[in-house]
Chains A and B, each alone.
Chain A
Amino acid sequence: MLKQMKVWLVLTVVLSLLAVAASCSKAPTNETTETNTSTAGETYQSKGDEGTVSGVIAFTGAAPAPKKIDASADAVCGQRNPNLSTEDTVVADGKLANVFVYVKDGTTADGKKITAINFPVPTDAAALDQNGCQYKPHVMGLMANQKIRITNSDPTQHNVHPTPKVNPEWNQTQANGAPPIEKTFSRAEVLIPVKCNQHPWMKAYVGVLKHPMFAVSGADGTFTIAKVPPGKYTIAAWHEKGGAAGTEKTMEVTVPANGAGKADFSFGDAATTSTTPGLKMMPAIEFPMLGRH
């Protein structure tokens, strides 16, 4: 009797583990992705009086030199990109690139909350490429439910692994020459880190918003957010340095009808020093996260 019970116990444990593994074997596909972005609000109707928000991202203090990446683990990476180096703080002439700037909150001139308005989702897919064992672009934005099209231009294999907090996590291998991966993120999230577990230095950040009012600062630190309805907004600028969640700075900007709002931000010394955790520790434990995907 006892023997039979033991056999059944072992069988139950093994079968349960197999069942859980099987149920989790499918990565969330576009078809199964939830569409939790609220559609309850009013649909945006353009009056043709939209303005812009533009500015420059300055970097104060001494910019850290890019670090050379040891790509010896995959010879192809070294051949494709002999000067492979870090992209977390790209500074030229005191101007900072790769800062994600977006309309965080605010009210339009006719008193509507910007976050409650539904903007049409572009039909074009946002592009993310793996080239020279780096993600191109390093920072990008797209709208919730807009397709992201990920390509592999390298003659080596990558795996694309976004690690969102509110969207479903997925991890997909993309061999060289494999067709593009097309996915969507259904919930707004600023920003989703994307990594490649085969090449641990590869990182990208994808900002997902309910509206199309975002931009990424270029090599000269400038950015322009187009088609912003007149109103008063909180503009946020996010940079990846500054701890696990990066650093975000905000300012209030008024956009006149057919006019331009100005939003200059400054990152640098303070943000950079706070990103050198050294012995700094996280205050909280993240305990068992079964089913977080």
Chain B
Amino acid sequence: MNKGVFRFALLVAGATFLLIIAGALVTSHDAGLATADWPLTDGHFLPKVTIFGITTSGVNMVGNLFWEHGHRMIATTVGFLTILLVIFLFVREKRRWVRRLGVAALIGVVLQGLLGGLTVKLMLPLAVSSAHATLAQLFFCTTVALAVFTSRSWQQQRSTIEESPGISLRYLCATAAALILVQLVVGATLRHSATWDKPLPTPLLLTHIAGAIIVTVVLGSAAVKVLRRHKGERFLTRPATVALSLLVLQLMLGVGAYLVRSASPNDPQPLKPMVAITVAHVACGALVFATTIVLTLRCFKVLRPRESKEFVEALA
């Protein structure tokens, strides 16, 4: 086990979370097309700065260019960090499948960059923008999974626990994670369907609300079951508690995002409260997904299928 790899994986996951927030800020400010140029911004990568009265040539970070180019700069940093993580994994990590997951993350970040460029060049088609937003969440979860797999708590020897009778917790958590992913795709499509000054498409909005109810029921029951069945097992109860808390917060942020948007449809620009609450909703959605992935992975790590009566009798 290598502490350095774990810490670096954690750094990449943290930087990716910041990147998701930066991307959400771009969407909320309608800044995606603040420049038609890609991968550079108006021919530059570095921002324009003035040092000792001398102004360098670079990106003039004013207006929405601040959000769009800022997003690109953070994305580039995450790309480089991912390359370093993969190198780190190949040098220090013995498990082949973890190294492979690192390569998958690298492929993901490259594809994500290309999707980002594609959506600028195609002038934000809904399908590409939504795919870009969805892949961001998937990439984030891959980095979180890498942090989980390289952590000490994952690698230390643990005795397995037999699943209790009833619904399998492992599959309930996996179902919750899958449903959250679908909900994230619907949410991303909803967000990219209309800028702040246009009404949201009703069918998508209703689908997103229905998705929120379904996710609440499935993830809520999974987390509650974990807390009830495995009281003393912090390895499981901790992510379950965090997931449950984030779920409640996410629901409140969702309602808040809708209300602030509805309150200012005729404003000339996206207002700060609307931007803040909507971006927080996106960020919290990513955290709910990531925590559910952690919970699912840990359930699969320590819970084993319930042995059937016949099998136990046969053994006896």
Q: Decide if A111 is an interface residue (CB 8 Å cutoff).
A: no
B64 touches A73 (CB 8 A): yes
Q: Decide if B267 is an interface residue (CB 8 Å cutoff).
A: yes
Query: Of B32, B117, B193, which one neighbours A197 at CB under 8 angstroms?
Result: B32
A171 touches B36 (CB 8 A): yes
A290 touches B266 (CB 8 A): no
B214: chain A residues within 8 A (beta carbon): none
Minimal beta-carbon separation of B50 from chain A (angstroms):
13
Q: Decide if B208 is an interface residue (CB 8 Å cutoff).
A: no
Q: Residues 107-149 of chain B: 1 if any A CB is under 8 Å from the residue's CB, otherwise 0?
A: 1001100110110011101111000000000000000000000
Q: Decide if B199 is an interface residue (CB 8 Å cutoff).
A: yes
Q: Decide if B72 is an interface residue (CB 8 Å cutoff).
A: no
A173 touches B36 (CB 8 A): yes
B62 touches A175 (CB 8 A): no
In the bound assembly, the distance between CA atoms of A291 and B126 in angstroms comes to 10
| Smallest Cβ-Cβ distance to A272: which chain B residue | B266
| Smallest Cβ-Cβ distance to B117: which chain A residue | A21
Sorting the interface of chain A by its residue count into under 10, 10 to 19, 20 to 34 or 35 or more gives: 35 or more
Given contacts A197-B33, A286-B126, contact A275 B266 (CB under 8 A): yes
In the bound assembly, the distance between CA atoms of A283 and B42 in angstroms comes to 38
A75 touches B62 (CB 8 A): yes
B265: chain A residues within 8 A (beta carbon): 276-278
In the bound assembly, the distance between CA atoms of A21 and B125 in angstroms comes to 13
Q: Decide if A27 is an interface residue (CB 8 Å cutoff).
A: yes
B63 touches A73 (CB 8 A): yes
B270: chain A residues within 8 A (beta carbon): 200
In the bound assembly, the distance between CA atoms of A88 and B117 in angstroms comes to 33
B66: chain A residues within 8 A (beta carbon): 73
B201 touches A282 (CB 8 A): yes
A197 touches B30 (CB 8 A): yes
Sorting the interface of chain B by its residue count into under 10, 10 to 19, 20 to 34 or 35 or more gives: 35 or more
B36 touches A67 (CB 8 A): no
A201: chain B residues within 8 A (beta carbon): 268-269
In the bound assembly, the distance between CA atoms of A169 and B110 in angstroms comes to 28
| Smallest Cβ-Cβ distance to A133: which chain B residue | B63
Given contacts A171-B123, A289-B127, contact A278 B262 (CB under 8 A): yes
| Smallest Cβ-Cβ distance to B115: which chain A residue | A17
| Smallest Cβ-Cβ distance to A27: which chain B residue | B36
B128: chain A residues within 8 A (beta carbon): 290
Q: Which residues from 236 to 293 on chain A have a C-beta closer than 8 Å to any C-beta of chain B?
A: 243-244, 275-293
Given contacts A171-B36, A201-B269, A281-B205, contact A290 B62 (CB under 8 A): no
B198: chain A residues within 8 A (beta carbon): 244, 282
Q: Decide if B65 is an interface residue (CB 8 Å cutoff).
A: yes
A244 touches B199 (CB 8 A): yes
B266 touches A276 (CB 8 A): yes
Q: Decide if A109 is an interface residue (CB 8 Å cutoff).
A: no
Q: Decide if A70 is an interface residue (CB 8 Å cutoff).
A: yes
A159 touches B33 (CB 8 A): yes
In the bound assembly, the distance between CA atoms of A97 and B285 in angstroms comes to 45
| Smallest Cβ-Cβ distance to B194: which chain A residue | A282
B181: chain A residues within 8 A (beta carbon): none
A290: chain B residues within 8 A (beta carbon): 122, 125, 127-128
A70 touches B201 (CB 8 A): no
In the bound assembly, the distance between CA atoms of A292 and B5 in angstroms comes to 45
In the bound assembly, the distance between CA atoms of A288 and B189 in angstroms comes to 9
In the bound assembly, the distance between CA atoms of A276 and B201 in angstroms comes to 16
Minimal beta-carbon separation of B118 from chain A (angstroms):
5
Interface positions of B (Cβ within 8 A of A): 29-38, 42, 60, 62-66, 107, 110-111, 114-115, 117-118, 121-123, 125-128, 193-194, 198-205, 262, 265-270
Query: What are the nearest 9 A-B pairs in CB distance?
Result: A288-B127, A198-B63, A281-B202, A201-B268, A74-B62, A197-B33, A74-B63, A24-B121, A17-B114
Interface positions of A (Cβ within 8 A of B): 10, 13-14, 17-18, 20-21, 24-25, 27, 67, 69-70, 73-77, 86, 88, 156-157, 159, 161, 169, 171-173, 175, 197-201, 243-244, 275-293
25 contacts across the A-B interface (CB closer than 8 A):
A21-B117, A25-B121, A69-B269, A73-B64, A74-B63, A156-B62, A156-B63, A157-B65, A159-B35, A159-B36, A172-B36, A198-B62, A200-B29, A200-B268, A244-B199, A278-B262, A278-B265, A281-B205, A282-B199, A282-B202, A286-B126, A288-B125, A289-B127, A290-B122, A290-B125
